[in-house]
Amino acid sequence: MSDQVERLKAALADRYTIDRELGAGGMATVYLATDLKHDRKVAVKVLRPELAAVLGTERFLREIKIAAQLHHPHILQLYDSGDADGFLYYVMPYVNGESLRDRLTREGELPIADAVRILNDVADALAKAHSEGVVHRDVKPDNVMLSDRHALVADFGVAKAVSEATGHEQLTTAGVALGTPAYMAPEQATAESHIDHRADIYAVGALAYELLTGRPPFTGATQQEVLAAHVTKEPEALSKQRIDISADLELVVLRCLEKNPDHRWQTAEELLTALDSFTTPSGGAAPTGMAAGRADGRWWKVWAAIGASAVILAVTATLLILWPSEELNPDQVVVAVFDNETGEESLDYVGRMAADWITQGLMGAGVVQVVPWPDALQAWSYVAEEADAGRSMNVVRAIAEETGAPIVVSGRYYLERDSLHFRLDVIDAREGVPIGGELPPVSGSSDAVREVIAELRDRTMGYLAVSFDERIGSVAPLVSTPPTIAAYREFNEGMNWYVAGEYPEANERFESALKLNPNWFPALRLLLINMWNQGRWKAMDSVLSGASLLDSTLTEYERAWVGHLRAWVDGDIDRSLVEIRRAAEMSPGSKAVYNLGSAANRAFRPREAIDALLSLDPTRGAMRDWTRYWNRLTDAYHMLGEYELELQAAHRAEAQYPQNLWRVRPLAALGRLDGLEEVIAESIASRPPHFVRTQLRRAAEILRVNGNGIASVSIANRLLTYLESRPSEEVNSVHHRQTMGWVLYLVGRADEARYVLDELLEDPHLIQSQYRFDVRGMRGYLAAMAGDLDQANEDLRWFAALDGTYLKGRHTYWRAVITGALGDPDEAVRLLRQAYRDGRERFANDAEHAYLDPIRDHPGFRELMTPRG
C-alpha cells in the first residue's frame, strides 16, 4: 500500500501534493491534498485499482464530465479528473466539516428541524441535477457533507458515470457494488435495466427515515436480506419509533419509500415543495395528495413490475405463497396427525392418538383456542388425500386454510431399538416458519406408548401456554426445554402474584414450578427478577451459582439472561447492559427489549433506552398492562433533558393508564406552574398516599434546582400539610416519616427535620426497611450542613464500615453526599463516581436531589451527570 501511495504522489506531483488519507469507501480512497495552482485544500478521490482495471479511461472521463457541469449551492463541485500513471481520480473541494454519517454515528436520530433542513438541501441539489438529466444513484449519509448549517451532496453523477462506462455485471465481477443496500430503491435492488431519477427520491426517503429514527428503514444480517426487504417489506411507521414526528412529515417520508416508482413523489421539485411546508414558522400544512397511491403501493401488487432478480424472486415467491387469507383466526391452534416414520404400519394409530390427546389437553387446559379433534382430523384427512394426489404441496398451509387456524402443531415419530421418539413442530402458517427452533424430542419405551404420549401432551401444552402468554414477552422460541402443564400452572400463579406486586407469594410459585421442571428457564428468570425487585442480592447470588452449573443445558438466549443478572449482582452495570443487549437482539419485541431499555438507563445511556423502548408497542404483546414501560421511557427523556418529549410521552401514558400521573416531572422541569398546579391538585384529591408523597417531593426538588425557589417551597408546604393530615396508621410508616423529615428541610425547618430522622433511626422497623440507608444518609447530610461534625462523621463511619458485597454502591453514594456537605467536593465526586462504578443505579432525578447541592458546580459532578452515548 505504501508503494501505491508513493506512486500516486509522484504521478500527481505537478498538480497536487498528497497530505494524508482521509478514508476509503466502496469505490474510492480519499486523500487530503493541496492544489498547487490555486493554493487550496482539496479532496482527491482515487478509484480502487480493481475498479480502474475494469474501467476504460476514455469512457470514464467522458461520462464524468457530465457531473463536472453541475453547479449548485448544495452540490459539491467536481474540480478536476484524470488518469495519472493508471490511477483514475477526480478532485472535489475539501469541506472542513463532517459527513452526515459522522453526525449520525455520534448522535443517532437528529432533531426534527435539523433533519428537515438537511433533507431540504439534499432535495434542492437533486432537483438541479435531475433537471440536467443526472441521476446520483448513491444518495446516502456518507455522500452528504455538512458545512456550517448547510448540506452538500458529494460524488454527484460518479456512480452513474461508472455504471455507464462499464455496465453492472462487470462491476459485480470486480467486487464493486453500485449503490448502497440500505438506501437502494427496489428497482436498483432487482437490477432493473432502466433506473431513473425516482430511485434518488427513494434514497432520500431512506435517508430521511434514518435521520428521524437513527436507523435505516430496513436492516439485515446480509446485503441480500436488506435488498430483499426493500422489495418485499413495508417500513415500520416512524411514529412508532419516535413520538414527536408529525403525521404529515411521516407521510412525506413514506411516500418517498413507495415500492412502485409511480407512487412516489414524481420529481425532486415536488418533494422539495412538500419539505418546504415544514420549514415555515407554523410548520405549514401537508401538501394535498401526499398520501395518494399509498393503498396501491403494497409490494404484493407491484413486485412483478419491478422485475426481481433470482434471489429476491425466490424470497418473494415464498412470501406470496404463505401470505395469510383473511379467514385465519390469529389466536387459534390446530393439531395435525403425527407422521409415522417407524416403518411399521402397526404403529399408525400412534400419530392419531398423539394428536387427539394433545387437542383434548389443550381444550381442557384452556391455554389457547384449539380446533376440536373431529374437525382437525377431517381437515387432515382431506389435505392428506390432496397431497397424495399431487394437488397440495404445502400440507401445513393447507391445514391452516381448511381450519382457519394459523398455528399448526405437527410432528413425527420414529423408533431406535426399543425406544419411541417424538419430534414436535409448531408452525406459523402465516410466515411459513417454525415458532422457535427444533424442540427436544420426547422419548420412552415403545411398550409404554400411553406414557410417552402423555409426556408429549404435557410438553406441548406447556410450550404453547408459554408461547401465547404475552406477559412472558415472546421468549418461548428461545427457551431450551418446554415445561409440563403442571409447571406452567404454578408459573402462571406466580405471574399473577408478581404483576400484583406480591413478591413473596410469587417467589413460592416460581420455586414450585422449578421443582417440577428444574431446567425451565422462564421460571428461573422470573424468580431472579422477583428477587431483584426485593433487593435480595444474596439470594440471587445463590440461585445464579446453581444456574451456572446448568450452563451446558442453556440456550444462547438463556445464557445472555444469566450473564445479565450475574453482572448486575456483581455490580457491573456495563457488562449487564452488554448481556441483555444480546438477549434483546435474539428476541425482538419481547420483555428482553424492555429490560434493555432499563439497563441502558442504569448505565446512563438514555438514547439507547429510548431506541429500545420505542421499538415496542406499549399497548400489546409483552408490554400489555406494563405501566413500567412508561416509567422507563419518561426516565430516559428526563435524563437527556428532553422535557417536551417527556411530557408528550406522559400524555400518551396517562391516556393508556389514567390512574397514574406522569406529567408532574416534565411540567416541573419546564416550569409550567399552572399545569403543574392542576396535576398536583388532582394527585392530592384522588391518588394513593405513596404516590402523592413521591410526586410532590420530586416536583419540589426539580423546581428548586431549576431556580424556581418560591414555587418549590410552596409545593413542599402543600406536601407538608398533606402529610400532617394523614391518619395515624399511615403517619407511623417509615416512608411517611422519611418524607416528612426531608420536606421539613426543603421548607427551611432543618432542626425539625433532624429531629424526625433521629427519632426514625431509633425505630426497630427501620432495620428491615428498604429506606434505612436513605434515612441515615439524610441525617448525616443534615448534620454536616448544620455544622454538627461529630454526628456527620459518625454517620460517615457507619457507612464506611458496611460490607459492600451486595449493597450496589448505595453506602458509597451516601458517603459521597455527606462528604460533599462536609466541604470536600473532590473526594465527594470521587466517591460518587465509585458508587456508580460499583452498581449504584442511575435514576432520572439524580442530578436534581437537593442533598447534592454542595457539589453541583464541581466540574466532575457535571461530567458525571452528562449522559453517555
Active site amino acids:
138
Which stretches within 308-436 are classed as H helix? 310-322, 348-365, 373-388, 395-403
Total residue count of the chain as it appears in this document: 869
Residue 267: burial class (beta carbons within 10 Å; 0-12, 13-18, 19+): middle
Instruction: Kindly state the DSSP code that residue 76 receives in the 8-state scheme.
Output: -
Q: Which amino acid is at 34?
A: T
User: What are 419's strand-pairing partners?
Assistant: 416, 445
Question: 144: closest CA among 168, 122, 129?
Answer: 122
Question: 824: closest CA among 793, 866, 779, 845?
Answer: 793
Alpha-carbon torsion (222, 225, 230, 234), positive or negative: negative
User: Which stretch of DSSP H or E encloses residue 202?
Assistant: helix 198-213
CA angle 865-605-623, nearest 5°? 125
Quick check: 407 and 332 in contact, CB under 8 A? yes
Distances (CA, A) of 638 to 239, 246, 574, 662: 20, 21, 21, 11
**C-alpha span between 386 and 91 (Å, rounded):** 67
Which residues are CB-neighbours of 657 under 8 A, at least 6 positions away? 627, 630
The distance in angstroms from the start CA to the end CA of the chain is 35
Q: Which amino acid is at 788?
A: D
Query: What are the grid coordinates assigned to 576, written together?
Result: 449487564
Which stretches within 570-622 are classed as H helix? 573-586, 591-602, 606-614
Question: 524: closest CA among 506, 509, 505, 510?
Answer: 510
User: Which stretch of DSSP H or E encloses residue 848?
Assistant: none
**C-alpha span between 178 and 186 (Å, rounded):** 14
Instruction: Kindly state the DSSP code that residue 750 receives in the 8-state scheme.
Output: H
**C-alpha span between 629 and 634 (Å, rounded):** 9
What is the largest distance, in Å, between two alpha-carbon atoms of the chain?
94
Residue 177: burial class (beta carbons within 10 Å; 0-12, 13-18, 19+): middle
Query: What are the grid coordinates assigned to 748, written together?
Result: 427551611
**C-alpha span between 201 and 119 (Å, rounded):** 11
Instruction: Kindly state the DSSP code that residue 137 receives in the 8-state scheme.
Output: S
**C-alpha span between 431 and 320 (Å, rounded):** 10
Q: What is the dihedral of CA 532, 837, 544, 767, to 10 degrees?
A: -50
Q: Which amino acid is at 282?
A: S
Query: What single string gives the DSSP state of each residue in 429-457?
Result: TTTTEESSSPPPPEEEETT-HHHHHHHHH
Secondary structure class of 759 (helix, strand, coil): helix
CA angle 666-671-677, nearest 5°? 80
Distances (CA, A) of 262 to 200, 313, 379: 13, 21, 43
Quick check: 775 and 738 in contact, CB under 8 A? yes
Alpha-carbon torsion (376, 382, 385, 389), positive or negative: negative
In terms of phi and psi (left: phi > 0; alpha: psi -120 to 50; beta: otherwise), the region of 445 is beta
**C-alpha span between 698 and 710 (Å, rounded):** 15
